Each structure stands twice: as structure tokens, then as C-alpha cells.
Structure 1
Amino acid sequence: MSSIPVPLDHGDLSALLPPSWKEQINAWLAEDTPSFDYGGFVVGDVPRTATLWAKSPGIVAGVPFVNEIVERCGCTIEWKVKEGARVGSPDDNGGKTACAIVSGPARGLLLAERVALNVLARCAGIATRTHAVLTALRAAGYKGRLAGTRKTTPGFRLVEKYGMLVGGADMHRVDLSAMVMLKDNHVWSRGSITDAVKAAKSVAGFSLKIEVEVQSEEEADEALAAGADVVMLDNFTGDGVKVAAASLRQRWTAKGNSAFLIEVSGGLTSDNIEAYVCNDIDIISTSYIHQGVPHVDFSLKINH
């Protein structure tokens, strides 16, 4: 899974972002420059241009966030590559790719520099690993969805979920309001899977799917009988998943229910995920594509 994937083209993903997303930019900039900008005083407002370089292999992701950071600092940016493009190839200028030209007052360039690079490096790292894992799954014959999880960094979820999307993965639920997911703690607190699903259905309405985390085929049967839309086979072995998924498909299709989805999750990484590949599974979800992910190395250098 170490190979760099091919460029992606999803169109303009910035149209997905909520109206409130730009408020986060102010918080990031305020965190980095909470009072006086001493370095900015040194360089002043003399007009400069700078090149944004990718210095390690990866996929560009996070363009809307970088654009807004640059604009807030009184500068403009002209991208030389598209979001989703492969950059930093060892065959490309000694491992460096010129991704964009940023223009504006020197002080503004340096105010934007670190905040923009941090966001870009993190988002690109997630997109790069996501697509590498997805590429390996497709090569192994998997036709379903690869999805992330809600194990994201507080205050940075929008960027991390965006990176998953650029990388080709399903974002899964973005927050607790996006879908009803009943995990072991919900079931234990309520008393049973059946009661938990019944309670969820009483308030969720027709537009929200209900998913139940299960530890066995028997629990999956109970969840489906109660009306769950998705069952998550949690912490199964690869062989166990294949047996359980095929059995559930056959049994419930014979009962006239073929619309439910089967998800697999729990401890999946590049070392073991291919062992879970079978097309009775609709969704493979893992935090591996966004937790502990190496950043893609970018730098911004003023041209001189």
C-alpha cells in the first residue's frame, strides 16, 4: 500500500462546505498571531511572490481552506495543480512540485504561511493514505465503500472529513446528528438491541438510517428483526466476516429483506484490511485512514 495513487477528480468539493466553515479560519489565524506580529514588522508590506512546494509524495487536498487563509491575509493564490493531483514524485524536479504561486505583501505571505501549510499537510496526508488503502482494496476485488470514522480531532473534523472525501472514501457519519449508530454502550444502557432500535425509530423519522454494532450473527439477526438498516460486524476476524456476511445475506434475502447494509469495522489497517475483502460487505470503515497519518511535506518560499 505504499504506492502513490493516480490523480483524483471530484469536481469542486468546496460547494459541500457549510456557511460557517470560514469562521474557523479566523480562529486559526488568531491562535497563530494572538497579539503583535513582530516578524511582520521586519518585512513590512513590500510586494512579493512565493512558491508553494510539495516536497514529499502525496495528493493535494485542502485547497478551499488554503485559499481562504491566503485571502484573509491580503494575498492571492494561483494554483498550478488541481485538488486531488499527485505531487512530490521523485521523478518530478528532484521530488519537488510547484503547486501554487502566492502573491501579496511580504507580511501577509508570512502570516498565512504556517497556518496554510499545517492545514494542507494534514488534509493531504489523510487524502493520500485514504486513496492508497482504497486502491489496494479495489486491486483485491472489493467493490463496496471504504469509510472513515468519527474519531477526528476536535475543532478540525471538517478538514479531516474533507481529506477523506478527496481521497475517495465515504466520510461515514460526520456527526452524531447524521445517522443513528447504536453501539454496545447504547445497547447495554437500554437493555437490549430490540429496545434500543425501537427507541431510535420512535424519534429518528424516515430520513435517518439506524445502524447497530453487533458482536455475533445472533445479535445481527436481532438488529435486523427490530428494523435496523445497517449492521456493523465489529472486531470479527477476516474469515468470520466472510462467513457471517454470506449467512446474513442468504438468510434475510430469503425472508424478503435484501435492502440492509453490512459494515465491517474494528482494528483495520493496511496490514490486515485485505483479509476482510468480500463483496457481501457493503462498507469497510476504519480510523486508520485519518488517525496517525503522516503529513505530506509542503513549504512556502518567497521568490528572490
Structure 2
Amino acid sequence: MIPIDHLLGFIEEDAPWGDVTSDAVIPDVVCRAEVHAKAAGTIAGLAEARALFEHYGVAVRQRIADGKSVSPGEALLELEGSAKAILLVERTALNIIGRMSGIATKTRSCVETVRTVSPHVRVAATRKTCPGLRVLDKKAVELGGGDPHRFTLSDMVLIKDNHLAVVPLPEAIRKARAGSLYRTIEVEVESPGDAVLAAEAGADIVLLDNMSPAEVRGAILALEEVGLRQQIIVEVSGGVTGATLAAYAGTGADAVSMGALTHSVENFDVSLTILKGVQSFRLE
């Protein structure tokens, strides 16, 4: 669960001096409302929306768990409480659900595509997330069945091309290993020869960057020929799209990472409607 203080920061951004519209025109009354899906997909963000509503004293009945498939018109949350509180949280909650569900839905689609080709290949996210929203974006990937990959630069060593422009590949791996025995070391390479060099130098993961599916198969074959394939994880990344995902999944790689899961989010449509003249669900 995302810390409530993190979520409250979104309310502070949206209403730094309160909701002047509701404060001016809405009486201090209790009402009921419902949040509905307006599209089909994988739902996410309900736990965060619920936490926000409950923080402001609104009773919430969650109709479905995060990570489940939903249909257009399906009820997601039932709310009961102060009309002002519901309207204060409304847009922030819907934005969270919409973004997280969009990511989860896209991730689930990609995971299902990969499973038809190779059930063991993992679909992973990258650090191409919206600043301030990474924890939500990564959670949404997990709810969609994907792997979040590293959350921060502090999590693991990932030696990329700009590192290798300064330090030679074997030396970079040696220095990373000397720094700690307990950190995973991944190295980004762009040729079969460098993939072998990285594996020979002691990398745990080789990231084959911006290679075609044929080039990925060639790199994996090169690792097999020197007897290093089984001791290393092979990840593919760089411009992978829905159109090319199946081809990459069939190369023999262990994981395919996609910035598109989080850097180009298609919002999942949800709505909140205040109900009139209905019985309290807390009395049912």
C-alpha cells in the first residue's frame, strides 16, 4: 500500500486552499456515490483511492480487487459520506485509478502476448515513469502481471552505454563487483561480442539493447557457444512495441523490458456519480 502521506500530497496539489467551489455552494450533507468503469481492462488504483476517501471520513465499499478484469459500467467503489469530502477527493482518485489502470491494462495485454509465445519470459518496466508517480506506476505494472524491474538507481548496478563511454566494460564490472558482493550487476550491450565479454567479466544480467530479434538470437547463440548462457539472465530492451513484442519473446531471452508500459500511458476511463434518494449501504 502506498503511504497515505504520499497520496495526500496529490490532494494538496489539487486543493492547496480547499475546494472553493464546493465550500461555496454545497451544504454540509451526507450523500452516496459510486465509481464505475467506462471501459474494459485491468483495474488498479482502487486501494489508493479508497485510502484517500477514508482519510476524509468517507465510508467505502470496494466491489472488486485491484488486478482484476472489469467491464464497462461495472461498479468499482461505493462511497458514503460528506458530499464536500467526496468532491474534494473525486478528481485525484479518478486520476490515480485512470493512470494505474491504463498501465495495468497495457501490461496485462503485453504479458498475454508473450505467454502465447513463451510462458517463461518476463515483461518488465523501466525507469521511464512520471516523476513523483513512480511508486504508483510500478505497482500498476505488477498488478498487470509484469515485473517492476529496479525502482531507483540505488537498487542495483546497471552499467549503460554512457558509463562505458568513460570506463571499459571489464573494468566497470570489476569495480561494481568490488563495491559489493550483494548487488546484482546488469550490463547494457549492443553486440554479441560485448554480451560474451560482459558474461565473462562476471555480469549477472546482460541487457541486449536496440537489437533486432535476429541479432538477439545471435547474441544468445554466442553465449551458448562459450558455455555461459545458463549462468546469465538475458534481457532485451530498446524500442520494443506491441507489434514486435512476440518476435522478441521468441528469441530465447528471459525478459523483455518496455518503457512504453509507463512512458506513454493511455488513461483508463472511470467516472464518479453522486446518487440521489438511495438507502445507506451501512444500514443494509
Output the CA distance in 1 between the equivalents of 2:221 and 2:57.
58
Output the CA distance in 1 between the equivalents of 2:62 and 2:221.
48
Give the match for residue 238 of structure 1: 213
CA apart distance, 1:62: 1.4
Output the CA distance in 1 between the equivalents of 2:119 and 2:245.
11
Decide which of 22, 39, 44 is 1:40's aligned counterpart. Answer: 22
1:76 matched to 2:59: yes
Indicate how the Cα distance of structure 1 residues 145 and 36 shifts in structure 2: closer, same or farther if over 3 A, else same. Answer: closer
Decide which of 123, 139, 157 is 2:100's aligned counterpart. Answer: 123
1:154 matched to 2:92: no
**TM-score, normalised via structure 1 length:** 0.87
Decide which of 223, 227, 234 is 1:248's aligned counterpart. Answer: 223
Q: Is the 8 A contact 1:142 1:278 kept in 2?
A: no
Which SS does the other structure have where 1:189 is aligned? Answer: coil
CA apart distance, 1:39: 2.2
Q: Is the 8 A contact 2:237 2:258 kept in 1?
A: yes
Output the CA distance in 2 between the equivalents of 1:295 and 1:100.
18
Tell me the percent identity: 34
Output the CA distance in 2 between the equivalents of 1:206 and 1:285.
25
CA apart distance, 1:125: 0.3
Q: Please, what is the CA RMSD of the aligned residues?
A: 1.4
Decide which of 187, 199, 205 is 2:175's aligned counterpart. Answer: 199
Output the CA distance in 1 between the equivalents of 2:83 and 2:207.
52
Give the match for residue 29 of structure 1: 11
Q: Is the 8 A contact 2:188 2:208 kept in 1?
A: yes
Q: Is the 8 A contact 1:61 1:166 kept in 2?
A: yes
In the alignment of these two chains, the number of paired residues is 275
Give the match for residue 284 of structure 1: 256
Letter in structure 1 aligned against 2:48: F
Output the CA distance in 1 between the equivalents of 2:33 and 2:258.
38
Q: Is the 8 A contact 2:141 2:147 kept in 1?
A: yes
Output the CA distance in 2 between the equivalents of 1:181 and 1:79.
40
Give the match for residue 208 of structure 1: 183
1:144 matched to 2:116: no
Which SS does the other structure have where 2:75 is aligned? Answer: strand
Which SS does the other structure have where 1:301 is aligned? Answer: strand
Q: Is the 8 A contact 2:60 2:78 kept in 1?
A: yes
CA apart distance, 1:186: 0.6
Which SS does the other structure have where 2:218 is aligned? Answer: helix
Output the CA distance in 2 between the equivalents of 1:296 and 1:27.
22
**Once structures 1 and 2 are overlaid, which stretch shifts more, 227-236 or 290-299?**
290-299
Q: Is the 8 A contact 1:130 1:290 kept in 2?
A: no
CA apart distance, 1:245: 1.2
**Once structures 1 and 2 are overlaid, which stretch shifts more, 168-177 or 283-292?**
283-292
